[in-house]
Structure formats: C-alpha cells, structure tokens
C-alpha cells in the first residue's frame, strides 16, 4: 500500500480540476474530454474487476489492467484515482489469491508504483506548461495600462490602444466630434437665443426663453449620449480585464495544486 501515500489529496485534485475548467481554450478542452472518456473506460474496468474461478485468469486480468495503465493520459485529472483503484485491486488479489501468485503480485505492485511516478512526472510537466502559458497571456495583456485605456476612452482611442482596432477608433473619434459639434450648437443657442433662432421671429421674452430651453435640451441629450458612450467603453475595458483576472486566479490554483502534487 506504499503507493497510496504518494497520492495527491482530494483538495489538491479539486484545485487542479477547478483551475483547469477556468482555461479558455475550447480546442484543448475538447481534446482532453476525449482523453478523459478513454481513461474513464479503463477506470471502470478496474472498478469492475472481480476474481474469477480460475486464479490464473484473475492474475492475467489484473496484469492486463496494470499494463494498460502505463498509457494513462497525464493530462487527465482523474489519473490518480485510476492508480489508486489498481493498488486496491492488487491488495485485494494478495489477500484472496494463493501464495504462489504473491511474487507476481509484488512485481505488479512495484510496476504500478513506477507507472504512477512516471505519469505523475508527466502530469507535473503538463501543469508547468499550463502555468507558463497562462503567465505569458497575463504578461502580454498587462502590458497595456488600464488607467490609460480609461483616459483614452474619453477621446475615442480605447479600441486602438487595447485591441489595435484603428477603424473602430476612427469611427469613435468622428462620433465624438459630432457630439462636440451638436453640444456646441446647443450651447450657443442657449447663450445667444436671438441670433441662433434661425427663421423664427423672436419678439417676446417667452420666445427667447423657449429657444434657450431648446439649446439646454440639445446639450442634455448629447451629454446623455456621451455618458452612454463612456458606459459601453468602460464595459469593454472591464471585459478586457476579466480574462486577465481569470488567468491570474487559474495560475494561483494551479500553483497550489502543483504544490500538493510535489508533497
């Protein structure tokens, strides 16, 4: 039962699975899902292992299961359970098969322990690659200053600075120019209602006040549109930051998981 002491505890496994679920890579997840189903099939075979009437048959069956486990996918987070189940089955065979099979079972026990260590090392290397990949993503994304991006959003340059989308930024700048132009028209209409009444004939204080209110309404409408524009710009900045925070969280979880693996 020495191999049991080498297993990562349940908390560590949950850390690894939670972190893995957080990775935004559909292709990678799809590939690993296929591998998981393959390992699941072998895991079920191990769980369903029972002694046969013929002890030689039982011995061959447990031997085949140990040989199959050599090809366990190190990218599967259920690999520890597979080796744990094999270890239990080997101990079960030691208790129920005759003494003549014990030397072979000891060899299988050691082979299972060796396979466990090999897969464990490959799994650690796999986790290291994931951490490196996530760390690279975070470093690349954090090269952009979020406070500067928020400042540039006021001038329509957020898209170009964060995502390199020049066309979008040009569109935003034109839009903001129109906002400024319309706001200015509203301001001069409010400030100088008589000279900006157009074809309207203004002769009373009430008419002047009406034109001034039109200028105020125009400024209020444009201000609200500008606020909506900033709201959507800041929301996109928040979306830009969300994957960074998720990657940082995943890195932290994977590092904790790696620490549990190396204990």
**Rounded Cα gap, residues 58 and 91, in angstroms:** 13
Report pLDDT for 135. 93
- Residue 37's alpha-carbon distances to 31, 121, 224, 228, in angstroms, are 10, 22, 54, 48
DSSP state at residue 9: P
pLDDT above 70 (res 211): yes
Residue whose entry in the numeric block shows the structure tokens 């105020």: 216
Instruction: Quote the CA–CA distance of 258 and 203 in Å, as a whole number.
Output: 82
In the predicted structure, residue 131 carries a pLDDT above the cut 90: yes
| 3-class secondary structure, 23 | coil
Q: What is the pLDDT of residue 201?
A: 65
- How much is the mean pLDDT over the chain? 82
Residues 217-251 pLDDT 10s: 999 999 999 999 999 999 999 999 999 999 999 99
């Amino acid at each position: 039962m020495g191999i049991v002491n080498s297993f990562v505890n349940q908390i560590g496994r949950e850390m690894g699975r939670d972190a893995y679920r957080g990775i935004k890579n559909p292709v990678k997840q799809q590939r690993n899902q296929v591998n998981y189903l393959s390992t699941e099939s072998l895991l079920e075979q191990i769980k369903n292992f029972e002694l046969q009437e013929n002890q030689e048959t039982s011995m061959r069956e447990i031997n085949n299961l140990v040989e199959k486990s050599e090809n366990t996918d190190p990218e599967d987070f259920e690999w520890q359970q597979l080796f744990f189940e094999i270890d239990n089955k080997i101990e079960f065979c030691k208790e129920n098969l005759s003494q003549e099979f014990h030397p072979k079972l000891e060899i299988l026990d050691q082979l299972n322990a060796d396979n466990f260590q090999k897969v464990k090392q490959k799994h650690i290397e796999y986790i290291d690659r994931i951490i490196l990949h996530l760390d690279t993503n975070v470093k690349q994304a954090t090269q952009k200053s979020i406070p500067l991006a928020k400042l540039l959003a006021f001038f329509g340059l957020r898209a170009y600075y964060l995502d390199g989308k020049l066309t979008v930024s040009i569109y935003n700048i034109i839009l903001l120019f129109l906002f400024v132009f319309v706001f200015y028209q509203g301001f001069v209409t409010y400030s100088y209602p008589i000279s900006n009444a157009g074809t309207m004939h203004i002769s009373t204080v009430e008419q002047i006040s009406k034109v001034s209110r039109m200028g105020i309404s125009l400024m209020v409408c444009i201000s609200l549109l500008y606020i909506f524009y900033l709201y959507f710009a800041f929301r996109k900045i928040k979306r830009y930051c969300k994957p960074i925070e998720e990657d940082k969280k995943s890195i932290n979880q994977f590092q904790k998981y790696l620490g549990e693996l190396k204990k």
